[in-house]
Chains A and B, each alone.
Chain A
Amino acid sequence: MASFILRRAEPKDVSDILRLIKELAKFEEMEEKVVLTEKELLEDGFGDHPFYHCLVAEVPKEKSSDEYTVIGFAMYYYTYDPWIGKLLYLEDFFVMQEFRGLGIGSEILRRLSETAVKTRCSSMHFIVAENNTKSIEFYKRRGAADLSSEEGWRLFEIEKQDLLKMTSK
């Protein structure tokens, strides 16, 4: 049995958030791609123009085997669909391995959807790697649609060097 709370992240949480970002990246076998620093996370999330919002899941100190009490997080922001308006976009969502199976992930997802409805968002979107079948099943069980399979949506990216090529005219 474990009790936990969900709360909004505060500036003091950035080092835990970065730790969890790296753990999630490790799970996706992309750990070396995380170049973000605590300083950037702090400026980008808690400065004048926040680029993201974050929820953290915390357990009481005595329930944690090591010194960490922040054991899960969800990072999201608001995007815009010119057809339907505001959307909530879920960027990262992760619960530490040893704290899974306790309903923390489900509760985070419910809290996010409550936030989406309260802030007049028409839907909640995110991306998932197609080989991450466990996550895809988790979302589909809760009524999510896979737009890539069902409607043919593909994600494209133009990286910095190509962006710069377009600006040097």
Chain B
Amino acid sequence: MNFTIRAATREDCRDISRMIMELAVYVKRPDQVKISHEELERDGFCQNPFFECLVAEVPEEHKSEEGFTVVGYALYFYTYSTWKGPTVYLEDLYVMPEFRGNGIGSSLLSKVAEVAKKKQCVRLQLSLFDWNTPARDFYAAKGAQDLTVTEGWHFIRFDGQSLDNLANEAHSSSAEA
């Protein structure tokens, strides 16, 4: 099947938002999606974008059942390792089910790897749910290591009330202990 991988434009945000929701449904958390294409347009295409995105596109004659030609995406941003330097963090990688098995996922990942290389990033990181075997197999085949298993890293989060509580306790810049 013919497809192209290209950088997303503002106009792609509706398609990306649609696929973000599809991925959220797949990982069983659709109620947790709080932002729409508007926030994506604002945050991804401003002066200092918070993320970058690649999309996979098929020609008209291969469009999906509902008529979509943008059939996959990879959303990533740059992070920093105090040990090794710049890193690419792959936040989302998704291909619509009816378009899988055509190398689109691999091509998206390869393009992200090219971006990493250009920006002199030393590694790529991502996170997955432990039950997501197809994804774990996909990344393992590309050389990914599970650092939670091998090095014991755990993800920690402060959000909602706990974040507000913490922020409201902030003192002025000088403190006597």
Chain A residues within 8 Å of B, Cβ to Cβ: 1-7, 21, 24-25, 30, 33-36, 40, 44, 51-52, 75, 77-86, 89, 91-92, 102-104, 107, 109-111, 113-114, 116-117, 122-131, 136, 139, 142-149, 151-167, 169
Report whether B162 and A144 are in contact in the complex, using a CB–CB cutoff of 8 Å.
yes
Partner of B79, one of A89, A109, A163: A89
Residues in chain A near residue B114, CB distance under 8 A = 167
Residues in chain A near residue B1, CB distance under 8 A = none
B2 at the interface (CB under 8 A from A): no
Partner of A143, one of B77, B80, B83, B165: B165
Instruction: Determine how close the nearest CB of chain B comes to the CB of A48; give it in whole angstroms.
Output: 11
A21-B82, A113-B166 as given contacts; A82 in contact with B92, CB under 8 Å: yes
Residues in chain A near residue B116, CB distance under 8 A = 163
Return 6 A-B CB contacts under 8 Å, by A number. A6-B173, A110-B170, A124-B159, A125-B157, A153-B130, A156-B144
**Using a Cβ cutoff of 8 Å, how many contacts connect chains A and B?**
265
Partner of B167, one of A3, A114, A151: A114
A161 to B123 alpha-carbon distance, docked (Å): 9
A165 to B141 alpha-carbon distance, docked (Å): 12
B145 at the interface (CB under 8 A from A): yes
Q: CB-CB contacts of B122-161 with A at 8 A, as 1s and 0s?
A: 1111111111000010010011111111011111111111
Kindly state the interface size class of chain B when it binds its partner.
35 or more
Question: In residues 83-120 of chain B, which contact A (Cβ within 8 Å)?
Answer: 83-86, 89, 91-92, 106, 109-110, 113-114, 116-117
A51 to B86 alpha-carbon distance, docked (Å): 7
8 tightest A-B contacts by CB? A143-B162, A162-B143, A123-B159, A148-B154, A102-B177, A113-B166, A130-B152, A154-B148
Report whether B113 and A130 are in contact in the complex, using a CB–CB cutoff of 8 Å.
no
Chain A: CB-nearest residue to B135: A156
B8 at the interface (CB under 8 A from A): no
A53 to B99 alpha-carbon distance, docked (Å): 40
Q: A145-B157, A152-B130 are in contact. List 19 more A-B contacts (CB 8 A).
A: A4-B175, A33-B84, A75-B80, A109-B166, A113-B158, A113-B163, A117-B167, A124-B157, A127-B155, A148-B148, A148-B154, A153-B155, A156-B127, A156-B139, A160-B123, A163-B113, A163-B124, A166-B106, A166-B142
